């Protein structure tokens, strides 16, 4: 069961554990992590579950898929090279210890 650390805009962090195969967005929502809005419930329709993957782990998290890549141009907070939509990022044991930063705004 990989563990993920969400670093929140107010400087606090939330540690969450979820089964491999769970979408990062789902892990956040199931654990009440603030700032992951996920208006569309994980259907790559809304771009409100935007996160910044910690730069050191960006490579192991992988690049956004094509649709996600286009959608990231329209997030409420600025896009950065490590931006992902958390509904499209599947957790795996290889991502145990992943650190992601939650942006200021999602909508």
Partner 1 sequence: MTTSGAPGVVVVGGGQAGFSVASTLRASGYGGPVTVFAAEPHLPYQRPPLSKKAHTDHDDLRVSLVPETFYRERDIDLRLGDDVVALDPAARTVRIRSGLSVPYAHLVLATGARNRPLPVPGADLDGVHALRSLDDALAIGRALTTARDVVVIGGGFIGLELAQVARARGAHVTVVELTDRLLSRALSAEVESHVRERHERAGVRVLTGTAVRVLEGSGRVERVVTSGAVLPADLVVYGIGAAPRDELARDAGLAVDDGVLVDEQLRSVSDPRISAVGDCARHPHPHADGPVRLESVQNATDQGVLVGRRIAGQASAPYESLPWFWSDQGDIKLQIAGLRAPSDDVRLTVGDSPERLAAYAFRDGLLVAVETLNWPAEHLAARRLLERRTPVTASDLTGTTLGALARARRAAEVRA
Binding residues for partner 1 (CB under 8 A):
26, 29-32, 39-41, 43-47, 67, 70-71, 73-74
Give the nearest distance from C-beta 104 to partner 1 in angstroms: 15
Give the nearest distance from C-beta 105 to partner 1 in angstroms: 13
- State the Cα–Cα distance between residues 5 and 105, nearest whole angstrom: 19
Give the nearest distance from C-beta 38 to partner 1 in angstroms: 9
Structural tokens at position 51: 């996160």
> Please, which residue, 47 or 53, has the CB nearer to partner 1?
47
> Please, which residue, 50 or 101, has the CB nearer to partner 1?
50
Distance of CA 92 to the CA centre of its chain: 14
- State the Cα–Cα distance between residues 86 and 106, nearest whole angstrom: 12
Q: Tell me which DSSP letter residue 9 carries.
A: T
> Please, which residue, 59 or 67, has the CB nearer to partner 1?
67
Q: Tell me which DSSP letter residue 51 carries.
A: E
């Amino acid at each position: 069961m990989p563990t993920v650390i969400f670093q929140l805009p107010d400087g606090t962090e939330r540690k969450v554990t979820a089964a491999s195969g769970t979408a990062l967005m789902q892990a956040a929502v199931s654990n009440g992590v603030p700032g992951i809005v996920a208006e569309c419930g994980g259907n790559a329709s809304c771009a409100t579950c935007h996160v910044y993957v910690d730069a050191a782990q960006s490579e192991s998290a992988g690049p956004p898929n094509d649709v996600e890549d286009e959608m990231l141009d329209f997030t409420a907070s600025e896009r950065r090279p490590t931006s992902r939509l958390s509904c499209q990022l599947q957790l795996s044991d290889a991502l145990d210890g992943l650190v992601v930063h939650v942006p200021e705004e999602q909508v």
